[in-house]
Structures are given as structure tokens and as C-alpha cells.
Amino acid sequence: MNFNPSQKQAITHTTGPCLVLAGPGSGKTAVITKRTEYLITRCQVRPHQILVVTFTKAAAGEMRTRFEQMTSQKYPGVSFGTFHAVFFTILKHAYHYTASNIAREEVKYQFMREIIARNKFACEDESEFAHHMLNEISVLKNSGTEVQNYYPVHCGKEIFRQVFAEYGRYMHDNCLIDFDDILVYTKELLEQRADVRAAWQQKFAYIMVDEFQDINSLQYQTIRLLCGKADNLFAVGDDDQSIYRFRGSKPELMLNFPKDFPKTQVIHLSVNYRCPKEVVYRAGKLIRCNKNRFDKQIESAGMDGTAFRTAKFETIQEENKALVELIRCKVEQGVRYGQMAVLYRTNTQPGPFIAKLMEYNLPFRTKERIPNLYEHWIAQDMKAYFRLALGSRERQDFLRIMNRPKRYISRESLSMRELSFEEWQDFYKEQPWIAERIEQLQYDLQVLNRITPFAAINYIRKAVGYDEYLTDYALSRQIPVNELFETLDEIQESTKEYKQLEAWMRFTQEYTEKLKQEQRRQQEQTDSISVLTLHASKGLEYDIVMIPDVNEGMIPYKKAVLEAELEEERRMMYVGMTRAKKELFVSCVQSIRGKKVEPSCFWKEIL
């Protein structure tokens, strides 16, 4: 392989700290593996003294394979691993941990659900709440913040502290640690035991970290402890691709590297071997709008030509139809499905597009689980109302909606499996004001039975008071009520083309079943369109990349308010754009669910 001057400079760096700013498609993996070989063959470094750290098991495996192919497996002993794997090795030697001490995901979730049930925390979706709590605990541990100084996002402070304490007691009593504990305990060990620290510093005399922009404070501090006085740290990454702030990654850690290591040599890998020239130019225009970054001049070794196109559509429905037509056109031109990707900001956005793909029977795959809108607890509420309006007298349907909104009806009043409204009202003969509410519910269900699904949801929201219920629920959970309203708006929008409640209910069942079939089929298909979030697209590349919905509130996402958050959104867009090897198609819409929307501020920055 021929290396350019900057790549050669990085490969032949020997001792002391080095920061390699490696832009998209700049050959950083080749540089790391070649430098590993260079240290062994030219600098007489023993293989077991070299540690190469990255963030995923797949990336570490790929790096090891590339190195072994390059050297014909002549130099066993080089350590390639993730932060967790490397740090767990250190803990195994110190505390004799085994894999059985690491809590499996299902064990963590099961215990979190037990905590929620035992404390009777109010939540509509127990699994979702458990997921949020485990994420909050992970963020807390990785930030190094004390629990009393942590402000949770998904619940009140007292509830979170209680959950955190019970979770910690369970892990301790069962001799278990989670993946975040691996990082926390390794840092504490290296800080407190000088002998252990010295032994591992001698063992790993040369440390290379890939994707350095993704490092969090805890990982960074632990790596610095491993470096020792020699500071032989070779950090490779791109601050412009730092997009995991929610995991604790911050570009500031990379930007401050030359200050933390004053003798740092900074090397720019500034040739993009992946993207066409126009894509590099447009992506460069975008990312230069960020202020908190290293200044770079990225060049393209790619082709000239019309590799970048944009389009505006009136609605998301029109946009989705155009995307499908573009995909079909490319297939006719000989492009494989597997060489095309459609990238979204969040995993809730692609639902309508996936429905369109299924309508045209086009193969697709998702890296993340795409939430089914009709399995959301709000959709389940609407369907329960509809079933009751259609004549269901199932106890579970009444239990679901009897206090949504609050009617002060108790579960004890529903002792029978199938309900009679007369018996139900009779149960409350001593509390006639509740009996009146049951009578009103009976009337509301009769109204729903006579109107269209769209009008029915509107009636539930306004006349029955479901919007007020959502507002109270959001307030109690300390979450933005607008997110709940947007979900309900989308559910209501999906009913527009149906005249009867049964027809819409049948559609949701068929859609859910077809989605499950598609997810099963994904395991068998090798050639399929990738439908990904911008986060999930990082590290991947495709001939054709499409980024739809480049609108204010979508990308940048509506929650991005602070300047640092807006810059991260811009970096996400930059990552998405630079996945394209041949063509990039960017689009926006002019209205969503009948409301006018504006093109993203990024739209103007790339034009």
C-alpha cells in the first residue's frame, strides 16, 4: 500500500504523545496497523508491550485481522481490545473476577423491573422506564459525578437516588459488576495501588487509541494512568465526528489533548479517499460553521461530477415516494440494495418510510430496533377505547383506560372478566359522582362508535380529556409533554384514510405483523437497503446515501438548544454526509402533519 506524506509521518512516530487528526476516509486503520508493525520491526519494541484500544469488539477484531494479514501472523502478542476488555483483564489479575461476575443485560433489566414494581413507581411502560433508569445510572458512573449532584432526566431526584442505591446493593450482594463498574473500578485500582499501576505501565509501554473523539472522561483518565511518565500515547480520531455526548464523550477531551500532553506532535490526515470531491466540499462547508474544533483543510482523492443533489417536497409522504423511486431507479442502473443507505436523526422517524418500503416489497435492514408506533402505550390506549366502542367488554380494556383521564375508579370495581355497565354503576351507588362518570364513559363510547377514527381520536383528546391526562402525566414524570403530543399527533394522522374504527385497527395489526416478518427476514437477506440513524451510520460507507427530513426540529433535533448541542447536531450531519462513496441525496419537506416547517439551518450551510 502506498502512503501519503502525512500517513508516513504518523506511521513512523516513535515515542512521546501524538495526536493524529484523521478525517473521514483518511486511512486511519491502515495507519494504526502499519505503525504497530513499524514499532516491532524498526524500533525493536516487543509485541506484548503494544496495546491498541478501540470502542467495539468488531473494530478490535478487524484491526487484529488487518495486522495479522499484513505481517503474516509473525508477531503474536500485540493486545487489541475494547476499553472494557482491556480494563477487565486488569481487574481479573487484581481481584480474580471471572466472566460470571459481569451482570448480563437480562439480569439487570429483571432486577430494575423488580425495583420499579416494589416501589410502585408510576410509569406507563415499565420496560421503557427500566431502560431509562439503567441508562441514567450508566451516564452517572461514566461522568464521575456524585449521585447527590446528579440531575436525572427521566424522573425526580429522590426516585433516582433510591433506584441507584437499591441497584448498587443488589450488585454488591450478588458479587456482580456491570460494564460501567469495569471502568470505575479500574481507575480506582490504578489510582490507589502504585505497584499495580507500575506493572501495567511496564506491560503496555506503547498505547494506541482509535476513535479517540469518542472517549469519555473516565476512560481518558484511566488511559492517562496507564501511560505513565513516558506518555507514549498515540491518539487517532476526528473531533468533527464526536457525536456521543449522551454517553459522556466530549470533543473537549480531544481538543485539550495538546494541553494535557505539552510535547504532543499533531499530525493531520487530510486526504479523504472515500467521498467524491463535491461531497467533501459540501460537508466541509457545513462543519466549518462549528467554532469548537481543530481547523482542518480536507481534500478529496475522489471523482468530480454531480455527486451531490438536494430536493424539497411538500410532505413526508411525497418525500418517501421520491426516495423509493430513487432506490428503484438506482437498482435498474445496477446499484445493489446493500450499497444504499437512508439516514435519519432518530429511530422514531423512519416508520412511514419503512411502511412505504414494505408497500413496494423492497428489502431493508435496520441496525437498531425501529419502534412500532402502534405498540406505543398511547396507541394501545387509543385501541382500547376503540375496542370498547366496538362492543368489547373485556376487563383488561377497561382497566387500561378507566383512569385515562382520571375518573377515580378503583380496580376492585372490575372484579368480573366481562363487564356490565349497569353492575359497574351499581358498585358505586354510595358514590354517585363516580357512577356518573361511568355513565359518561358509556356515552362517550357510543359517540366513538358513530364517527371516523380521526374524529374519534380528536373526541378522546378534547371531549374526553386525554390531552389533559398526558399533560399531568408528563408533569409527574418530568418529561416534555410535547413529545407525547407529537406521538399522539402521528397516531391520529395515520387514521386519516380510514372511515371505520375496525379498518384502522385491522391496518395496525397487519402492519405490526408485517414489520415482525420483515425483521425476521432481515436475518436471511444479505442485499438490502440500510435504514439507520446518523449515530448508527458512523464508521460505515455506502455508494448512495440519502438524508431526508433536513428540517428545523428534526436535524438539528428540537432538543438541541445550547451552542454545544447545536455543534454536535452539525457533527452528526457531517458524519452522515461523509458516508457517501459516490452520491449524496439530501432532502427536506415543507409541512409535517399539516403544519408548515422550515428547512434546517444546516440546509443553507451546505448549499
- What's the CA gap between 315 and 351, in Å, rounded? 15
**Hey, how many other C-beta atoms are within 10 angstroms of the C-beta on 355?**
16
Residues flagged as binding site for ATP: 22-29
Q: In what order do the strands lie in the sheet with 50-54?
A: 79-82, 50-54, 206-209, 233-237, 18-22, 265-269
Q: At 308, which helix (H) or strand (E)?
A: strand 308-313
- Supply φ then ψ for residue 130, to 5 degrees: -60, -40
Residues flagged as binding site: 22-29
- Residues 6 or more apart whose CB falls under 8 angstroms from that of 183 comprise 83, 84, 87, 141, 142, 218, 219, 222
Which of 373, 369, 371 shows the shortest CA–CA distance to 382?
A: 373
List, in sequence order, every residue forming a beta bridge with 595; answer none if it has no partner.
592
Q: Which DSSP string do the residues of 311-368 spell out, in sequence order?
A: EEESSHHHHHHHHHHHHHHHHHTT--GGGEEEEESSTTTTHHHHHHHHHTT--EEESS
**Hey, how many other C-beta atoms are within 10 angstroms of the C-beta on 413?**
19
Residue 159, C-alpha cell as written in the block: 426516585
Strands 595-596 and 591-592: antiparallel
> Is residue 276 a contact partner of residue 304, using CB atoms and an 8 Å limit?
yes
> Is residue 74 a contact partner of residue 103, using CB atoms and an 8 Å limit?
no
> Is residue 283 a contact partner of residue 574, using CB atoms and an 8 Å limit?
yes
- Residues 6 or more apart whose CB falls under 8 angstroms from that of 283 comprise 24, 275, 574, 577, 578, 606
DSSP assigned state of 100: G
> Is residue 292 a contact partner of residue 564, using CB atoms and an 8 Å limit?
yes
- Supply φ then ψ for residue 444, to 5 degrees: -60, -40
- Residues 6 or more apart whose CB falls under 8 angstroms from that of 359 comprise none
Which of 222, 64, 241 shows the shortest CA–CA distance to 141?
A: 222
**Hey, how many other C-beta atoms are within 10 angstroms of the C-beta on 331?**
15
- What's the CA gap between 198 and 352, in Å, rounded? 56
